[in-house]
Amino acid sequence: MDVKTLTKMTKWMETTDLQEITWRSGDDKIGLKFNNNPEHSAAIASSMEPVLSPSIGIFRFARPGKTNHLKEGSSVKNGAELGVVEVGKDFKSVTAPSNGLLKIISIEDGKPVEYGQPLFFIEPK
Amino acid sequence: MFKKVLIANRGEIAVRVIRTLRELDVKSVAVYSEADRSSLHVRLADEAVCIGPAMARESYLSIPAIISAALITGADAIHPGYGFLSENADFSAACRDNGITFIGPSPKSIQQLGHKAEARKMAVKAGIPVTPGTKDCVYKDAAAQAAKIGFPIMIKAAAGGGGKGIRIVREASQLANEMNMAQSESKAAFGNGDVYFEKYIELPRHIEVQFARDSHGHVIAFPERDCSIQRRHQKLVEESPSPAVNKKLRESLEEAAVKLAEAANYVGVGTVEFLLTQSGEFYFMEVNTRLQVEHPVTEFITGFDLVREQLLAASGEKLSYTAGHTVPYRGHAIEHRINAEDFTRNFAPSVGRIEEWIVPGGPGVRIDTHVYAGYNLPVYYDSMLAKLIVWDQTREMAVARAKRALEDFKVTGVKTTVDAHKLIVESEAFKAGKTDTGFMERLLAPAEPVAAK
């Protein structure tokens, strides 16, 4: 069987509701199966936007000597500093990616965080 | 011995280190970049932490991120593997400053021996023959210094390694240009643009001696490895012992390594690299202050676990063997580096998902790898998929075993260099042990017409 025939058969299969066919002739066997991979279609819809840790390190709601009163439900502005990740002598800023409501705080002060770990969830306005 | 060791590396070497840690009942911590989430070392370690994005500069090369990971997980030591931060004196110092043991030599040893020009000076002092070249880094009067050595010369990066930052200059007219390129290449790769000159020896063998030394002064030099089969200064096949080294030469090489380890008051494992000329003289080239990719060939013929020796030395204990400077060996071992490259297309990198991954086994075969069927090869790091190491009683038998093992190696989804290795083991020159650093070029060159001679 050549590619032309295979293409023809595939085209024909598309006009039917068959998912899979097998054709046998002596020792020859050909199977055609539609690829309906559901792996990527199972997206979970959410309007919330995660704020990810920019670094591995220790999370702080504020830089040393400062305070920051964040509460779930408070509104945040795009670019506002929500906290810092202390890595060595460095502090990496965690900022709000958009204007919105701070829905979830998923981190505590002084806890270690990994790179890419979700720290907050914001509902954009 | 340590309680928990963080491995500041990825790929097969991270897996390799985890295995020894497990045997010693030491907990392991894997660190990984976002691109390595599904890599084998992450699965095998007792704990794993994501330290940064795919780009190595912000993950595997980030000293603050790795130190932070060690502190957070409570690791008392860090194994740097090879590459990345393994020969970085600042990293070794950062570990020390944070109360973490660096499993490798002291910052001072790394500076002395890892800096090629410094290492050369030390070798000269220890009475080890060195290739003619500049004693110090070349900053000015390059033309005069090169002329004094005589062309062809090599420009080498002082902080270099892994074949990077080496340029061959055959005539004075090319010097200025090549010098510029070497300096900027070195600056980009190692953060240091210092270079020095060395006489270029045509078609040498690359011979190296593995050594280990503990803080009690015990030192072992292992039988030499022959790493002559290279392509663009990257090793492809390594074997031990070398078919070109006899007992007397072996003793001289081992003695040189012992002298150097002692002169540097070195603690840990390291490797002294030599060039062996066709007529049998050897010259000191450089020292690698870390575990090497090809360490398994030494393990196979001597029965040592070099990672264990590293851990023993770093934790202040004695090496497992303290009865002398040399160790007995048995048989012959060969390592083939299997890379994700298409050797029919000039070794172009190949990426994708590993669909089928069937590796050889059986007597005298060892595979060190981080790859499995279904693994998506990240594009950010080196292309090595696995190391195939074979052992047998004689070199001839080992070559036959390598051939058999390569035939058993089945990979689909990405192109590999398995076929290139088949070509190597089937070549008459390789079978006869007649290899030098020009071997691959000759093997891959289209056959020269007889009349062209």
User: Confidence band (pLDDT; 50, 70, 90) for B452?
Assistant: very low
Residue B371 sits in a domain whose CATH number is 3.30.470.20
Please say which residue of B199, B226, B258 terminates a domain.
B199
Q: How much is the average pLDDT of B273-293? A: 93
Q: What distance in Å separates the CA atoms of residue B373 and residue B138, rounded to the nearest whole number?
A: 49
Q: Is the pLDDT of residue A1 over 80?
A: no
Detail the DSSP E strand segments found in B146-255: 153-161, 164-169, 195-199, 205-213, 219-221, 225-231, 234-240
A62 shares a domain with A116: yes
Verify that A73 and A104 share a domain, yes or no. Answer: yes
Split at pLDDT 50, 70, 90, the class of B447 is low
Same domain assignment for residues B311 and B413: yes
How is chain A split among helix, strand and coil, in percent rounded to 5?
Answer: 10, 40, 50
Does A112 sit within 8 Å of B64, measured CB to CB?
Answer: no
Question: Of B205, B231, B290, B366, which residue is the catalytic one?
Answer: B290
A26 assigned to some structural domain = yes
pTM reported for the whole predicted model? 0.83
Residue B434 placed within a domain? yes
Q: Please, which residues have CB within 8 angstroms of residue B332's CB and are 6 or more apart in sequence?
A: B239, B240, B241, B301, B391, B392, B393, B394, B395, B397, B398
Domain limits for position B83: 4-103
Q: What is the pLDDT of residue B189?
A: 81
The verdict on B271 and B212 lying in the same domain is yes
A53 and A108 share a domain?
Answer: yes
Q: Shortest CA distance to A92 belongs to which of A119, A123, A122? A: A119
Q: Do B260 and B210 belong to one domain?
A: yes
- Please state the rounded mean pLDDT for residues A33-62: 79
Residues 6+ apart with CB under 8 A from B273: B206, B207, B208, B284, B285, B286, B287, B288
Is there a single domain that holds both residue B294 and residue B418?
A: yes
Residue A44 is assigned to a structural domain of this protein? no
Banded model confidence at residue A47, pLDDT cuts 50, 70, 90: confident
Count of the separate structural domains present in chain A: 2
H-helix or E-strand containing B408? Answer: helix B395-408
The CATH number for A59's domain is 2.40.50.100
Same domain flag for B212 and B71: no
Looking up tokens 């060395």 gives B198
User: How far apart are the CA of B35 and the nearest CA of chain A, in angstroms?
Assistant: 12
Domains in chain B, number: 3
Q: Are residues A24 and A81 part of one domain?
A: no
- Share the mean pLDDT of chain B: 93
Determine, yes or no, domain membership for A69: yes
**Interface contacts (A, B; CB < 8 Å):** 40
* Nearest to B335, CA basis, from B235, B212, B443: B235
pLDDT of residue B247: 96
Q: What is the pLDDT of residue B451?
A: 44
Separation in Å, CA of A113 to nearest CA in chain B: 9
**C-beta separation of A70 from A58 below 8 A:** no
Contacts of A90 in chain B (CB under 8 A): 64
What distance in Å separates the CA atoms of residue B4 and residue B46, rounded to the nearest whole number?
9
Mark whether B180 and B215 lie in a shared domain: no
Residue A2: per-residue pLDDT: 67
**Are A19 and A54 contained in the same domain?**
no
Residue B161 lies in a domain: yes
* Identity of the residue in B63, B65, B67 whose CB atom sits nearest the CB atom of A55: B65
Beta carbons within 10 angstroms of residue B341's beta carbon: 21
Give domain status of residue A39, yes or no. no
Based on the fold, state whether residues B316 and B423 are members of the same structural domain.
yes
Residue B84 lies in a domain: yes
Q: Is residue B255 part of a domain?
A: yes
Same domain, yes or no: A57 and A92: yes
Identify whether residues A29 and A70 lie together within a single domain.
no
**Domain CATH number, residue B175:** 3.30.1490.20
**Residue A18 sits in which domain range?**
3-34
B115 domain residue, yes or no: no
Is the distance from CB of B335 to CB of B389 less than 8 angstroms? Answer: yes
Pairwise CA distance, residues B43 & B131, whole Å: 46
The separation between CA B392 and the C-alpha centre of its own chain, rounded to angstroms, equals: 23
Question: What is the Cα–Cα distance from B156 to B261, expressed in whole angstroms?
Answer: 23
Q: Would B330 be classed as within a structural domain?
A: yes
**B234 and B377, same domain (yes or no):** yes
Tell whether A54 and A26 lie within a shared domain.
no
**B430 pLDDT higher than 50:** yes
Contact yes or no for A114 and B51 at CB 8 A:
yes
The three-state DSSP-derived secondary structure of B271-289 is EEEEEECCCCCEEEEEEEC
Q: Do B59 and A115 touch (CB under 8 A)?
A: yes
Q: Is position A55 within any domain?
A: yes
